[in-house]
Amino acid sequence: MSNSNKIAVFKPSNHNNEFEVILDQNNDTIWATEQQIAEIFDRDRTVIGRHIKNIFKEEELNKESVRAKIAHTAKDGKSYQVNHYNLDVIISIGYRVKSNIATEFRKWATQKLKEYLLNGYVLNKKLLTQKTKQISLLENQINTLNDVILQKETNLTDGFLNIVSLYSKSFELLNKYDSENLKTDYLNKEIIYVINYQDVKDAILVLKKELIKKGEATELFGNEKDKSFKGILGSISQTVFGELAYPTVEEQAAQLLYSIIKGHAFSDGNKRIGSFIFVWFLEQNNFSLKFNKERKINDNTLVALALAVAQSVPDQRELIIKLIINLIKKY
């Protein structure tokens, strides 16, 4: 477990006791021992143990993906490795014991994870929701500034000129986003590399080894919960009447980022894996750089995109996909 883990306190509305669980920010989950789960749901520990065994026996969840040994300091001052179970297990037990507190706990856990996810990485929603008229005014001001520069032949630094140019393009894109007028024309149909399940698995394994070496991931990272990940990749490279369902590099890349993050096919690392495969796919198709050799998607943009996808509602899928396409297309 990461050193960034925190202790979160759950206090039910109709209960005097408070329950401490481990909030795992890196893996977007919560961990609790068998005894803690029993106390939360007000059931005997043997009952909880029996439910856990049945969950694994019925193959509802994969034991290796949802269980972890975490050091626990006992009253004698010694540290012991104790089995902890993640949020998937806790929710599954909640359904089985039919406890009213289970629903309350699930909502509380989801909110807690959301709060910590957004902490430090907050999208500028105010900017994204500005009215078209306000954005147009900013565009006009920037264009006027460019005209003044040309007329007076003012000697400004290259850095300032680049900033003016960058913001001009940014406000144009925000304007189209705000008015839901993002276009998906003039895309690149020269797909050099077609996504392949085994290639992607090998790439994820390389990433996993690097992150573990840096202490930024555990063995749970990249473990597939079921066969849904293979299905996601298959849907992106599928053909309809002999034609690719997504016939351009931009469309396939955008679908990869969105579908992997929203698909939750892995026990841990869905956002990181989705972001990694997105950039990796662009590189495989020689499509990751601008004409000036700069990366189309820098670190900050990638974080913002991943969080935008993760926090978006299903109705926003098409709009988010178009936004990603416009950030990476040639023109």
How does pLDDT run across 202-254, given as a tens digit for each residue? 999 999 999 999 898 899 999 999 999 999 999 988 887 778 888 999 999 99
Residue 152 has pLDDT above 80, yes or no: no
Report the distance separating Cα 277 and Cα 204, nearest Å.
Answer: 8
Report the distance separating Cα 315 and Cα 317, nearest Å.
Answer: 6
Report the distance separating Cα 63 and Cα 331, nearest Å.
Answer: 48
Report the distance separating Cα 116 and Cα 25, nearest Å.
Answer: 7
Phi-psi region of 19 (alpha: psi -120 to 50; beta: other; left: phi over 0): beta
Residues 96-132 have pLDDT tens digits of: 887 777 778 777 777 766 565 444 333 334 444 545 5
pLDDT at position 169 is 56
Residue 293 has pLDDT above 60, yes or no: yes
Q: Which residues make beta-bridge pairs with 244?
A: 239
For residue 137, what are the contacts with CB-CB under 8 A and spacing of at least 6?
Answer: none
- DSSP string of 256-303, one letter each residue: HHHHHHHHT-BSS-HHHHHHHHHHHHHHHTT-SB-TTS-BSS-HHHHH
User: Taking the C-alpha atoms of 115, 117, 232 and 257 in order, what is their torsion angle to the nearest 10 degrees?
Assistant: 130
Whole-model pTM: value is 0.51
Residue 155 has pLDDT above 50, yes or no: no
Q: Three-state SS for 212?
A: helix
The answer to whether the beta carbons of residues 197 and 233 sit under 8 Å apart is yes
Q: What is the largest CA-CA distance in the chain?
A: 82
